[in-house]
Structure formats: structure tokens, C-alpha cells
A and B are shown apart, each in its own frame.
Chain A
Amino acid sequence: MNADPTIDSSSGTLLHPSTHMLIAAEIMCFAIGLPTVTGTALLAIFFLTALGIPSRTEFRLTWKFIKILGLGALFLFLIHAVRWNPPGFSREGMLIGVESFTRIASPVIGVIYLSRRVRSEELFAMLIDCRVPPSVILILFRTLWLVPRLTERMDEVVTAQKLRGMRVETTMQRIHALIPTLNPIFSSMLTEISMNSLILSSRGFISPGRKTHLTALRYRPVDIAVITGLTFFLGVLWC
């Protein structure tokens, strides 16, 4: 029996990952390029739509990014809208603040949308299909893989240091505590990376030739229809 090992990722989505990226990029560009009120309204609609469509991924970044947006809005309000001497609010400052908020919110909402629609294996497959060099894919995905591992190790080492009686009362003591925490983590990870790279070299990951992946991605007529329709709609809005 010679079954096809590739997994069709189309279940639960109609669109190709690159179409999702194009949608996010188009809306981000138009939100920044359109007049402030229209751009902000477009972005708000996109944000609500992104939240309204059920998430296909295991990423839980939405709440974190909403908090970032809240923090950005607060500081923009304090920097632009509040007048301290004499105390009061500035209408012009408020408008500048809203314009700056649109610029900050555009990438944040774009990433929220993509994190809810594109799975990591689809991103990997798309990069392979786009002939991105394997070394670039390796750097990107290994960084994503290493971040939680490093965080976990840092947690372990800091807990161990605290149990040993590490003093962290003042800022200087905390900075002093940082150095003996980082050194063993970095050295051990460097050794691990060294061995891992040997394994990857022996498996020929960096060697020439087209790489394969297990997720089948297909362009459908609906991809072209969505992109054309969206571009037309945004063009009309622009005019």
C-alpha cells in the first residue's frame, strides 16, 4: 500500500496562508494610508472580524496583544492628549494620538489575525513552497523552538539560586544575580546547539536540494476572488 503521507490542511479554512498574509498586509497598509477616522474604523472592523472567526490555531496571543494595545493607548493619551500646564485635554493632541494609535494597532491586529488563522506547520510548508533557503527557515523555527526552552531553564536556574539564598532586594543585587544565572544557561545551550547542528548536517538539512513537507497547500479560485474583491473594495474606499 502506498498511501500519500501529506496532510491536507484545507480542513477548517478556505484560504491559502499567503492569502491570509495578503489580506492582513492590505488592510494594514490601507488603515495607515486612509484618513484617520476611516482608517481607524476599517481597523476596528478588521479586528472584530478577526475575533469573530473561530481560531484554527493553538496560539493564545489575543489577550496579550490587547493588553499591549491598551498600554500603547494609555501612553499615547498621556503624551499627546493630556495638557499638564494648565491642566486639561488637547483636541489636536487627541487626533494625533488616534493617528499614532492606528499605526501601532495595524501590525498588532494583523498579527492577531494571522495567529488565529495560520498554523505553524502551514507557515513552514508555505516557506518551503516559496523556496526560502533552508538556513533561514532553520533560524526562524529554531528561534521559536528555543525561546520557551530558554525561558524554562532561566526559571529553573533562578529558582535554584533563590533557594540557595541569592539576594534580590536592591537593583544592583538583582543585576549581580543576573550574570551567574545567564552564564551556565548560555554555555549549556551552546553545547546543545553544537551537537544539534551536527545531527542536522548529517541529515543534510542545509545541503542543497528542494526540501519536503507533510502539509499540502493549494491555491483555489476563492483565494483569487477574495484578494480581488478586497482590493476592489479598499480601492473604492480610497477614492
Chain B
Amino acid sequence: MKKRVSVRDRFETCLYYKHLDIASSIHHHFLLPLPGPSTWAAMDHRKNNHMNKTSAFHGTLKREKATVRQINAFDAGLIALCAALNVSIGYLVNLLKLPIYLDSIGTVFVAALCGWQYGAIVGLSALLVLSITAIPTALAYGGTAIVIALLAAGLARFGFLKNLRATIIGGLIIGLGAAAASAPITTLVYGGVSLAGSDAITALFRAMGYSLWKSVIFGKLLIEPLDKLVTSLICFSLVQSLPSRMLERLSKK
């Protein structure tokens, strides 16, 4: 016979999971010491007690929790912040009249510190928001964002964003990777136009008599390494300026 779940049981279960969330958040945010074994044992005892009472309801909660737990509120906030940085940096670039895009600062920063998965999510979220608010064709460059995240995370093992020399070399490598990943999309999908600064250079090479592929590749090779070099140097400066506690917390992900 199916057991009936009382309102009190439901409330207490929610309270238990809410407490766990708050406890983990406080631990994450303020680096408080972990609760001792007795506390965890007490929590487990309480959990088991509830599981016996309302197994169906708890089973659902536990299954949902396993998937939702993968990203907590701070991770989501960090991803949103870096994605917003990718999108809104265009405003600063316009304000200072710079000849580069700098639209992957958040991607490089997060991928180097937290891993390529985080970088890829940041890149894709930024492109999604960018395509809703500014350039609707940007979503096609999702592959480029993933390549940038993969390269930044891979290069982080060799001192990228830790020492200046590795950062400069890494920036140039990421630029070459980004150029290689975005040139086919620009050429095949959009006929050589990316709605960014490199279009004028592509038109210039085309006027000089080069084929469309060569014009796009040369244009990208001129712009992307310089752009990603400056991006990497800015990320290096951000890493240097962050408090060590925050840096340690980001690096643990």
C-alpha cells in the first residue's frame, strides 16, 4: 500500500535539503571548517529516518538532487558574470575606440581557472545572449568558443595565466586556434562576413585579388592572435589582482 506523505514530512524534508544547501554555501563562501563527523552522522541519521518514512518522495528528491547538484548558485553566478563580461566588454572597447573585440575574456579566464567545461558554458551563454541582444549571427560561432575554452584549459597546465611568458605564447596559440575554427563558418555560412572588425580587412584582401578563403583566413590571422594576446594579458592581470582566497576557490572547481 502506498504510504501517504504528510505536509509535515514534506516540510521537514525540504528544510533538511535547504539546510544542506545553506551549509554548503556558507562553507564555500566563507571557507568555514567542515562540520565534524558527529554532525554529518546526525544529518545522515535524520536523512535515513526520512527515507524510511517517505521513500517515494525522497527517492525523487535524491534523483533530482544528483543532477541539479552539478552546478550550484555560485557556479551559475560566476558563469553568468563571465558571460556578461564577454558581452558587455564590447561597450568598453567602443568607449576606448580599440581596434579589437576582446569578446572572450570571460571564456579564457574561467576555462583556465575552472576547466574547459565551465569555459565552454560561458562561451555558449555569452553567444546566446549576444545573439539575442546584439548580433543574431553570433550563435554560429559556438564551436569557436569551445575551441577557445579547450585551448585555454589545456594551456593552463603549462603555466598559462600563471607566468607572463606562457601567457603571451598561450594567447597567440589561442588566437591561431580561434582563427582556424571561425574561418570556415565565416566563409561557408556567411559568405566572408562576420559582422565584426575583420570584415574590412577581408574586403581589402579580396580587392587585392585573393580568393574568398584566403582573404578570410588572412583577415582572421591578422586580427585573432592580436585580440587573444590582449585578452590573455587582461586575464593575467585579473588573476594577479584577485584575492588569493577567491582564486583558490575558483581553482578548486
Chain A positions near chain B (C-beta within 8 angstroms) = 61, 64-65, 68, 71-72, 75-76, 78-80, 82, 84-85, 96-97, 99-101, 103-104, 107-108, 110-111, 115, 133-135, 138-140, 142-144, 146-151, 154-155, 158, 168, 171, 174-175, 177-179, 181-183, 186-187, 189-190, 193-198, 200-202, 204-209
Contacts and interface: CB of A to CB of B under 8 A. Distances in A.
Given A108-B136, A143-B84, A208 B64 contact: yes
A36 B105 CA distance: 38
B17 to A, nearest CB: 6
B98 interface: yes
B209 A84 contact: yes
Given A107-B139, A208-B61, A197 B74 contact: yes
B234 interface: yes
25 contacts: A68-B135, A75-B199, A80-B192, A82-B207, A84-B206, A100-B190, A104-B137, A104-B190, A142-B84, A147-B87, A154-B91, A168-B97, A174-B98, A175-B230, A182-B234, A186-B81, A190-B78, A193-B80, A194-B29, A194-B74, A197-B74, A198-B73, A206-B76, A207-B18, A209-B64
A193 to B, nearest CB: 4
Contacts of A103: 189-191
A65 B136 contact: yes
Interface residues on B, range: 35 or more
Contacts of B159: none
Given A104-B195, A144-B129, A158-B95, A79 B73 contact: no
Contacts, number: 227
A151 B91 contact: yes
- Looking at B74, B80, B97, B230, which has the most chain A CB atoms within 10 Å of its CB? B80
B249 to A, nearest CB: 9
Contact of B65 (A110, A142, A149, A208): A208
B88 A208 contact: no
A201 B87 contact: no
A134 B72 CA distance: 10
A139 B76 contact: yes
B126 interface: yes
